[in-house]
Every structure is written in structure tokens, then in C-alpha cells.
Amino acid sequence: MIRLDDVQIFVQTVEAESFSEAARQLNIAPGLASSAVQRLEKELGVRLFTRSTRSMQLSEDGERYLPHARALLEAQQEGRRALAREDGALSGPLRLSVSSDFGRNLLLGWLDAFQHQHPALSLHVRMSDRAVDLVRQPLDAAIRYGTLSDSSLVAMSLLDTNRRAVCASPAYLAKHGTPTSIDDLRRHNCLRFLWSEQVHERWRFTLPTGDRTVAISGNRISDDADAVRRWAVAGEGIIYKSRLDVIDDLKAGRLVELFPHAHCEPAPLNLVCADRTRLTPVMTQLKAFLREKCEALAASHTPKLL
């Protein structure tokens, strides 16, 4: 019989990347952690880790078993929460990964409101513009722009009509002139974003004449999308960002939208889970809450183009 304590130690070892660190975090002896994983391996009939004198890493069987181990632990916790609450209130941890700009300037305030509605929830928010591994990392979901490349993940749409927008500050346009076509962007200082070590410097558009890609350049690059937006507001150049991220700047006049919204690249926003076992009542209600917020924000400002 598989012991859930052994499953927990296995998952903790994956996250800690060593038996000794997992044991320290769980306040048990290192030998107990190693024995627990060996016992689990015996019950499953596989090797979960490949070990050497210098390193330890998940085996192929371990990689396959990990999401199911997480699901077992989550089911146990969800069962305990269900027994502990008679009124159906949401409780327990909510562990999210979110991009920097959307996270800092929009999501944090929305999560405040969501937690105030459900005070038994505890929030764990990781803010990063790097890709995350929803299978291996202790996360319930990630909020990300774009179309999923991994078909095994589960995406719940928060705003499927969202697109990117080309924007600059009034000060920048007054000093450097306003581009009248996408080809003019080559002659302007374009602020670039670095995602997973790849610079986003080929901006894509859908024009009446067909799809076009413009290779841009500029004197600033950052792996923090919020920093890129702040540079644009300060008048340092032109950005190509999710329109949802810049709506407040557009409404306040800090930024100006340059080209028709329909011409810019789609940037759907999704709440992404590793698998369907993560679609708990917390996730279902969070999705409905955030979708309502995103749709209201998107509808709050009609593009006013130069």
C-alpha cells in the first residue's frame, strides 16, 4: 500500500533537489527521507530517481509519476478542507505564477478583492517573466499571455480577444515624430523585451495586404515587462505590449496608441493549469472572477488613434 507520507517526501525531494534539504524542510532525519522514497519505489516497481555520488535527478518514470503524486496530495488536502468547512467557503493555499507587469499593476489589487471575499484562502504569488514548469514546481496555475505550445496543459481563457498595442508617450512623439506606418518603426527607438533568453525584436502585424513582420531595434532591453512599459511612459521609446497592460496608461494619457488595434498580434490571456486535477472550486471561481475583471477593463477604453 502506498503511504501518502512517502508521496509527500518524494514531492518535497523533487522540489528541494536533495534528500537532505527535503528532510530539513520536513524536520525529519535525512535517512528517513531516503527510506521513504525507496519504499515508494518498491511499491511502484520503478526507480523514481537516478542517483550517483555527485547528483540526483528524476528518472523518466519519476517525471511521469510526479503530476500524479501532486494530485494525490492535493486530493488529500481538498478532502480535509471539504470536511472542515460546512458552508462551502473556499480555503487553503492558492499558488500562482504571473508576469511582472500584469501582476504588479492589475492582478495584485484583484487578488486582494478575491481574498477578501474568501478570507480562508492563503495567497502564494510568484512574479516573473520567465517560463515556469507547472508539473515540477509547486504551483496551482500560471497566468500568461499567448497561445499554449504545450497541449498537455489546461488553459482557461480570461480574455481571448486581447491583442498587443504599439504605444509611445506624447513626449516621445513630440520629440521624434509619429510613425505613420509599421515600416516607420525601423527608424524609431523601440524598447525590447527579453523572454526566456530570447529578445522580442520581430513585431508581427496583420494588415489588409497580409501578414507582416517588422524587425525593430533600440537602445534598451529588459527581461522585466513592467520596466519596458515604464521606459515608454518616461518617453524613452516605443513599445509593443499587451493592450490590457497599458489600458490605464492610455486612459490617463501617459501613452498613445499608434496603429489600429486589429492590426496587432493576438495576445490572449489564460489561466493555465498542469492538468484537470487542478480544476478545484478555488480555480473555477478564480477564473470566473478574473475573467469578469479582464473583460470590464478591456471594455473601459475604446482605442483613440493618432
Domain that holds residue 29: 4-83
Residues in the chain: 306
* pTM over 0.85, yes/no: no
Number of domains in the chain: 3
pLDDT value for 195: 79
Burial class (CB in 10 A: 0-12, 13-18, 19+), 252: exposed
Final residue in a domain of this structure, among 20, 48, 83: 83
* Grid cell of 159 as nine digits: 480574455
The answer to whether residue 305 is domain-embedded is no
**13 neighbors 22 (Cβ within 8 angstroms):** yes
pLDDT per position as a tens digit, 24-51: 888 788 888 888 899 998 989 999 988 7
pLDDT value for 198: 82
CATH number at residue 132: 3.40.190.10
Same domain? For 295 and 250 the reply is no
Same domain? For 253 and 288 the reply is no
Same domain? For 109 and 145 the reply is yes
pLDDT value for 53: 63
pLDDT value for 262: 66
pLDDT value for 274: 82
Residue ranges for the chain with pLDDT beneath 70: 53-54, 80-88, 149-151, 262, 303-306
CATH number at residue 72: 1.10.10.10
CATH number at residue 218: 3.40.190.290
pLDDT value for 82: 63
pLDDT per position as a tens digit, 162-196: 999 999 999 999 999 999 999 999 999 999 998 77
Residues 6+ apart with CB under 8 A from 22: 9, 12, 13, 15, 16, 33
pLDDT value for 20: 85
pLDDT value for 289: 96
Same domain? For 259 and 277 the reply is no
Same domain? For 17 and 67 the reply is yes
The answer to whether residue 174 is domain-embedded is yes
The answer to whether residue 61 is domain-embedded is yes
Amino acid at 9: I
pLDDT value for 189: 97
